[in-house]
A and B are shown apart, each in its own frame.
Chain A
């Protein structure tokens, strides 16, 4: 990671995917999709942690390499940069329900890097970004449709 200049670094995002107790169904599908995103150059995986939260709220963190045979994730694991610090664990686990397991994924959006660089070279600076929840889109459209119905 140190040989990548900041100007070439794409936006870095994270997500926490929770698997409620008894609800996990690991078929390898997630690993295959993640590997496909990496292989296509869409993203670069920077870090992965596996978190578990006991019924009493105690959180434990594990490295991906602790899980033995990684299959599709073997190549990804070899390139991890270990960006997360131990003190990040409790912050990330704050959203987890007791008794659940969660995967934490940190990635660089390689697809966005050239555009971001071009924006900077053009004098632009990022002042806001974010994600629009699907629920908000649904609510917006439904409100729009309701308004159109009233107008009929």
Chain B
């Protein structure tokens, strides 16, 4: 299944090889290595009204 001709010969917009990010699902999905508590931790981090301690 070739790409459409309009895509060939054009200058690309992705300037460099894309690096693989950490797999988020592994960190927030319940499982042996990723307890449900992690999800609660993230939720707490973004709770409105939480203030940083500097």
Contacts and interface: CB of A to CB of B under 8 A. Distances in A.
Interface residues of B, number: 30
Interface residues of A, number: 32
A118 to B, nearest CB: 23
A66 B4 CA distance: 10
Contacts of A126: none
Interface stretch (A2-10, A29-37, A107-115, A138-146): A138-146
B3 A86 contact: yes
Interface of B: 1, 3-4, 6-22, 24, 27-28, 38, 41-42, 44-46, 53
Interface of A: 14, 16, 49, 60-63, 66, 82-96, 133-135, 137-138, 140-142, 144
